[in-house]
Chains A and B, each alone.
Chain A
Amino acid sequence: MSIKALNVNKLFGDFVALDDVTVEIPTGSLTALLGPSGGGKSTLLRVIAGLEQPDSGTVEIEGKVATRLPAQQRGVGFVFQHYAAFKHLSVYRNVAFGLEIRKRPKAEIKKRVTELLELVHLENFAHRYPSQLSGGQRQRMALARALAVEPQVLLLDEPFGALDAQVRKELRAWLRHLHEQVNVTTVFVTHDQEEAMEVADSIVVMANGKVEQIGSPDALYDTPENDFVMGFLGPVTKLAGELVRPHDIELFAAPETDTVEATVLRVTRLGFEVRVDLKVNGDDIWAQVTRGTAEQFGLEPGLTVYVRRAPHRAAIPVATP
């Protein structure tokens, strides 16, 4: 286990940021801490990094207890949402910073920095200043800087949050690729479930300072353990007292086992799929079907169909209001 956070508690005044949180992160993995804002993910990351002190609980990094160690001595690389670039230093000096602190010989520094700048495709910007770089470039520089000192663990706090959509998508793929090349244990915080699903091997879902569920993207999507996780990771709708995925709803022309009667309210085409708004026993729900299915049924407002959740698909019972 690369990182272990055991029974960590953290309060900010009255606000409970972390409530008895236990997380274990395997060596070499790429893990996402996912959840809504204020849920505790950044706090947990900062506790692991040593930028915050937990009120109770322990932190171990590569088997060594690190709970009271200052950030300087933990061997973690940290990347901030707003880059935290050293604005008075050139890109080269930024990346070289950690090595200069450790008093490495100049030749070694030069080699390593050049290597890293090539890795992040900033080799032509070595002598520019951060203010002359775009957001995406600054973040790549920040990554190179963190990797320069060969950390045991790489932590990223909403690394793409400050960038626009296009750049975000590019850097996501790029981070995944980087991880395959460099292979250091990486943990990143995000509130974007699409980002977590696309990039991470394993996801820790957090809300209100607690861990809701830990698992692979598929596991979390297909077998969520509670309504929060289900609702956060994908679309949901309510049918027969359960939360189900709209694309798991089957349509029939005539009643079948376990089906209920539904009236079509609206049919909207969304690209390749079709969204069908239905009324079931006075409730409004929606289902997602293929174009083929829609045509096959001749779906249009007013039509009566029979619906049920496809068997063996995710469902979480919900208390009926």
Chain B
Amino acid sequence: MSIIVLIPLSAVVWTSMEDGLGGFWHAVTRPEAWSSLKLTIVASLLVAFINLIMGTATAWLLVRDKLPGRAVLDTLIDLPFALPTIVAGLALLSIYGTNSPVGLNLAYARSGVVVALLFVTLPFVVRTVQPVLLELDREMEEAAASLGASPTKIFLRIILPNIVPAMAAGTALAFARAMSEFGSTVLISGNLPFKTQVASVHIFNQLESDNVTGAAAVATVLLLVSLAVLLGLDLLQRWAARRG
């Protein structure tokens, strides 16, 4: 466990400090690095938000709707988990790139990056909300109905409060995943620095150019953000567990 995880990761942080704190700051605030970090964070937030809405809607559809072919859809949702990121990137590029059969060209554009991130984060919110919806006590909804609540009120006051923790957890996971995504963005974004280069691609490029310290610095920033998200998630789960 330590050999593979802890030591290497601490090495990253250590190396990033090789040029001292000043060097660290310099590496991170270089225009290229800064731009990639900004793009990554903004895109990830956007993607997390879209997932919050579409993911919950999809989970609802899978649990409450009697749509034929639900099982197929359900299996499909897991595809982004199983598919290699580079293949996802290739697939998205083929549909939404320069030779797009649907006439939508997002290559070399930020929206291309967003679409790639949407693909890889698709299952997260769906899979956290789905089991909660399944377990939801239908009788609570019936009780609310017998007390006079309309279907909208039932959704807002009974269903929603009970799935919010799951929604939040899924969104946090989606955010963390989007932040660290590499493979799917490589092809469709064209890696134009300042325009479509995400943080992980930037790190990769710095490595290729032998700027190991610079790469480590940006990597450390990403690690810190991931850590913060994981901590937040853990706190959230403990708070939710207390409410019982």
Contacts and interface: CB of A to CB of B under 8 A. Distances in A.
B148 A102 contact: yes
Interface stretch (A2-10, A85-93, A224-232): A85-93
A168 interface: no
Given A102-B148, A131-B244, A88 B162 contact: yes
Contacts of B244: 87, 129, 131-132
Contacts of B134: none
Q: Do most interface residues of chain B lie in helix, strand or loop, or is the interface mixed?
A: helix
A51 interface: yes
B3 to A, nearest CB: 43
Interface residues of A, number: 31
Interface in B122-163: 137, 139-140, 142-150, 153, 157-158, 161-162
Most chain A beta carbons < 10 A, residue from B139, B140, B142, B148: B148
B243 A84 contact: no
Contacts of A84: 137, 139-140, 142-143
Contacts of B243: 87-88, 129, 131
A80 interface: yes
B146 A76 contact: yes
Interface residues of B, number: 19
A51 B148 CA distance: 12
B139 A149 contact: no
A1 B27 CA distance: 84
B73 to A, nearest CB: 25
A101 B143 contact: no
A86 B158 CA distance: 7
A148 B147 CA distance: 9
Given A101-B147, A101-B148, A88 B161 contact: yes
Interface of A: 49-51, 70-74, 76-78, 80, 82, 84-89, 97-98, 101-102, 129, 131-132, 142, 145-146, 148-149
Given A97-B147, A145-B143, 9 more contacts: A70-B145, A72-B150, A80-B139, A80-B143, A84-B140, A87-B162, A101-B153, A146-B146, A149-B148
Contacts of A72: 145-146, 148-150
Contact of A77 (B137, B146, B149, B158): B146
A3 B187 CA distance: 70
22 contacts: A50-B146, A51-B145, A72-B145, A72-B146, A72-B149, A77-B147, A80-B143, A82-B137, A82-B139, A84-B139, A84-B143, A86-B144, A87-B137, A87-B243, A97-B144, A98-B147, A101-B149, A102-B148, A131-B244, A145-B147, A146-B146, A149-B147
